[in-house]
Structure 1
Amino acid sequence: MKDFHFDAISAFENYEIEKMRDGHVVVTTKVVNSSLNYYGYAHGGYLFTLCDQISGLVVISLGLDGVILQSSINYLKAGKLDDVLTIKVA
């Protein structure tokens, strides 16, 4: 195994809220070095945290207070360095 150390994974350093109104949220972000796992793909924890944060933004966009009690995610395709991700919630 090659030499490896864990770096901090940051999910919120470069995302932009494109839309946040009445339960509709659109966020874009670019996969950067601090988003990557050991294999060079977007870390699952990074993606999950991003989705969790956006779920909260949906609640806030409705003028409500709340927390996300349960969540699950299915990963369909690996994110790579410099990919631009768009998360849409309607």
Structure 2
Amino acid sequence: MSEEMIIGVLRDAITTGIKAAAPILIVAIVIGLAVSIFQATTQIQEQTLTFVPKLIGVALMGLVTSKFIMHTVVTFTERIFAMIANIMK
């Protein structure tokens, strides 16, 4: 196993992780920002006001993008297993 192959696998793993996590993280950030702006303008400092909308948004985004996330992770896993099979030959 060469250094280029290891670096390629690591780069692919990081890219796959970012692609799989990005939709959910973006929704959490956007909802958190919106709730923070709402709290700053209304002076309401309720902790559940920040938690519940994020929980609902992340859960809905997880349901909507679950097929994409699963496809991304399975494709990466198949590539890794194909590399392992080629190394074993």
TM-score range, shorter chain: 0.3 to 0.5
Between structure 1 and structure 2, the one with the greater Rg is: 2
Higher helix share: 2
TM-score (norm 1): 0.34
TM-score normalised according to structure 2 size: 0.34
